[in-house]
Amino acid sequence: MPSRHSRRMLATAAVLAVSAATIAGCSSGGSPDSTDGGTVTVTFAASTLGDPGRGPGLQAMIDKFNASQDGVKIEAASVPYPTFGQTVLTQLGGGEGPDIIRFDMPEFEAAASAGLLEPLDDRVDAEKLNLQPGPDKYMTVDGSRYGVIFEDANYGLFYNADLIPNPPTTFDEFVDIAKSTTNGDVYGLAFRQTQAEEAGVWQDIFNYVYGFGGEWSDGEKLTLNSPDVVKGLEAYQQMYDANVIPKGADAATFRKMFAQNKVGMELNNGGYVVATKNANPDLNFSVVRIPFPVKKQGALIAPMVINANSEHKDAAMTFIDWMLEPEQQVELQGVLGASSVATPTERSAESLAEAPYLSVFDELTDSGVPQIVLGFGAQTPDIRKIVVTEVLAALQGQQDMQTAMDKAQEQAEALVGG
Amino acid sequence: MKTRARFGVTFRVIAVLILLGIVVFPLYWMFVTALTSDEQLFSGTTQFLPDFSQIGIFAEALAQGDVLRWLLNSFIIATGTMAVTLALGIPLAYALSRFSFGGKVVVGIALLFTQMLPEALLVVPLFAIFRETGLLNSIPGLILADSAFVLPVVALILKGAFDGVPREVDEAARMDGARPGSVLLRILVPLITPSIAAAAVIAFFTAWNEYVFAVTFIYDKSLQPASVGVAGYIGEQDTSIQTIMAVALIFTLPAVAFYLFAQKYVIGGMTAGAVKG
């Protein structure tokens, strides 16, 4: 005989099942209607939209575009930053996905190589638009243009001017200042050093490798274990071993620490300026060029692309054309913080007086290198995983850096078939 | 003798308090962190008590995003997954436990095999199938995907439960004229209520926490579950630790409430029939 409990349980499950099925049936979506009374709705996915500091500004620009005309309506697609690339690539591979995407370089290269992006050769005239040649040269894959620059965030040395009155100009000074600033719960430096932040570690070590004259490849062959690459990574390890960083802290944590005067220096990109100001408007910080021997550093280059599967490519292009107009470029640069945009813009005297370091970032536009393995753009995520895993094993003392990179070279060559 | 009994009680009380602490402390720590300002967070002295002057963070979190909508979507998805999984899992487990049929061993191995495949591997082929069948960007589609993922676990749990019921019970019911369906629903299901409740909890929690399918299959913001909504607070350049903690706590509480609701059926089912009446 079923117990009272059992009957009640069964009844509850039945009610829940019926109500769930009913509500679920009512809630089923399907793709939002992309045309409404002659207005074409175009979806735009950008991880920037999720930034507490920059998202509202970008949304305001989208609203401004939508108010400017009746033919095209831009709708923000909601894709969280932590899995942005993986999610959008899966959607594109399945023949779906947002119409316009603000990609990062590794995903851009992967998507372009797979034929998932719309070629823009006939739609974009670089000369007429006066696109910045430095970052714009990376918008081409296999001879075709697939994107235009949405953001070019160059990497500089952020430093707390209260903790560090005179920023370093050489690597030795960098080491000394990091050591002398570290005291109690204050750290001289911070960077990512855990496998959980693989992409972030890659961004951080990128600056060391290029700053010491290394390159991940010569464009045709991988050079992961070349002397200059190893030298850069040994410099990274030197800082780790010097106990001047909050070991184990993730980027979200140490960036908050920087804003709270608990971290003296960090290498970061121009897009970080807005977040820093938001976190603590009173923070006395500035930015200088990274004090490594070679003036070459990473740049977070983010192209704006059109999904090859989009049914509204012309409408998508309308928005991109509008964003490339001088007025919008200036506004976008203001939203992004200290990043460069697709075309040269002039900072106002007022903004330069308020933040003199803006010119530091602008001067780096031509020497910034996108965080991909040149010549192996589409395979960068896989090579990145190999390199970061081996480098972190070296940090933990399991091997020296040369051995780590020899192993990385071997694995990566097997991967790319080199 | 008395001293030994008193020691036993004390030991059990301490053990219960430690276990309670392990379970409750993460929630408490999330609450304290949500109510800690940036200055306090990195002040160098750990703050163990909540600063209630910051309590407005919860109202702000609720006002800023679509938290309530996300929670409703999560509830619909989790409840729907639980219902579909049980509806399919109970007869499947019954068949595996009670009937002999060709390929039975293969089905059992296949169920285990599906558990070896990570979600990330399934998401691409499922995406293609859902695209062809019009199930993308829909809550029923997500319920189906989640159900497919959790069904093998539920089926194996319930098969074990059915195996534990003597076959004489079925035979007695059949001799009384009951059909197999009736034996299942009226005789066996009530006997394995604790296992069904446990399976329901597993199905509910799996769907409640699921992220990979949800973020890939759902485009429309109004259909997103809370697991995706919470991840949206992690920005590329900036993340508000306090907001994340506040929203994550709000996200956790309904699941805890559901567990508290369901666990009495687990216990109730276990004790049912323990006393002859």
Q: What is the pLDDT of residues B54-77, one digit of tens each?
A: 899 998 888 876 899 999 999 999
CA–CA distance, A374 with B75 (Å, rounded to integer): 46
pLDDT of residue A35: 63
Residue A59, Cβ neighbours under 10 Å: how many? 16
Higher per-residue confidence, A191 vs A21: A191
Token representation of residue B182: 């009736």
Higher per-residue confidence, A65 vs B121: A65
pLDDT digits (tens, 9 = 90+) for A219-249: 899 999 999 999 999 999 999 999 999 999 9
Q: Is B39 on the interface with A (CB under 8 A)?
A: yes
Is the pTM above the cut of 0.90?
A: no
Burial bucket for residue B54 (CB in 10 Å: 0-12, 13-18, 19+): middle
Instruction: Say if the Cβ atoms of A87 and B215 lie within 8 Å.
Output: yes
Q: Is A11 on the interface with B (CB under 8 A)?
A: no
pLDDT of residue A1: 42
**Nearest residue in chain B measured CA to CA from A7:** B190
Q: Do residues B108 and B173 lie in contact, with contact meaning Cβ atoms separated by under 8 Å?
A: no
The mean pLDDT of A268-297, rounded to a whole number, is: 91
pLDDT of residue B122: 86
Token representation of residue A110: 């992967």
The mean pLDDT of A65-90, rounded to a whole number, is: 91
Interface test with A, best of B79, B233, B237 (most A CBs within 10 A): B237
Instruction: Say if the Cβ atoms of A21 and B237 lie within 8 Å.
Output: no
The mean pLDDT of B101-119, rounded to a whole number, is: 82
Nearest to A260 by CA among A240, A283, A237: A283
**Whether residue A111 has pLDDT greater than 90:** yes
The mean pLDDT of B2-14, rounded to a whole number, is: 84
CB contacts, 8 Å: A86 with chain B: 120
HSE toward the beta carbon, residue B125, CA cutoff 13 A: 5
| d(CA A64, nearest CA chain B) in Å | 21
Residue spans of beta strands (DSSP E) within A185-290: 187-189, 263-269, 285-288
CB contacts, 8 Å: B239 with chain A: 52, 252
Q: Do residues A149 and A303 lie in contact, with contact meaning Cβ atoms separated by under 8 Å?
A: yes
Distances (CA, A) of A133 to A41, A156, A366, B242: 32, 20, 8, 41
Q: Is B269 on the interface with A (CB under 8 A)?
A: yes
The mean pLDDT of B205-213, rounded to a whole number, is: 95
**Whether residue A151 has pLDDT greater than 80:** yes
CB contacts, 8 Å: A7 with chain B: 190
Q: Which of residues 287-306 of A touch B (CB under 8 A)?
A: none
pLDDT of residue A278: 85
pLDDT of residue B269: 54
Q: Which of residues 15-34 of A touch B (CB under 8 A)?
A: 16-17, 19-21, 23-25, 27-32
Instruction: Say if the Cβ atoms of A27 and B223 lie within 8 Å.
Output: yes
pLDDT of residue A193: 95
pLDDT digits (tens, 9 = 90+) for A81-104: 888 988 999 999 999 999 999 999
Phi and psi for B107 in degrees, rounded to 5?
A: -60, -45
Instruction: Say if the Cβ atoms of B196 and A9 lie within 8 Å.
Output: yes
What is the value of ipTM here, to two decimals?
0.78
**Whether residue A6 has pLDDT greater than 60:** no
DSSP β-ladder status, A72-77 and A187-189: unpaired
- Identify the band that residue B1 occupies on the pLDDT scale cut at 50, 70 and 90: low
Burial bucket for residue A251 (CB in 10 Å: 0-12, 13-18, 19+): buried
pLDDT digits (tens, 9 = 90+) for B210-243: 999 999 999 888 899 999 999 988 887 778 888 8
**Whether residue A12 has pLDDT greater than 60:** no
- Percentage of residues in chain A having pLDDT higher than 70: 91
Torsion angle defined by CA atoms of residues A187, A190, A192 and A194, in that order, rounded to the nearest 10 degrees: -10
**Whether residue A405 has pLDDT greater than 90:** yes
- Identify the band that residue A367 occupies on the pLDDT scale cut at 50, 70 and 90: confident
- Identify the band that residue A20 occupies on the pLDDT scale cut at 50, 70 and 90: very low
**Nearest residue in chain A measured CA to CA from B263:** A9
**Whether residue A33 has pLDDT greater than 60:** no
Q: Is B161 left (phi over 0), alpha (psi -120 to 50) or beta?
A: alpha
pLDDT of residue A283: 94
CA–CA distance, A394 with A415 (Å, rounded to integer): 21
- Percentage of residues in chain B having pLDDT higher than 70: 95
Instruction: Say if the Cβ atoms of A9 and B265 lie within 8 Å.
Output: yes
| Residue B208, SS3 per DSSP | helix
**Whether residue B46 has pLDDT greater than 70:** yes
CB contacts, 8 Å: A8 with chain B: 265
HSE toward the beta carbon, residue A315, CA cutoff 13 A: 22
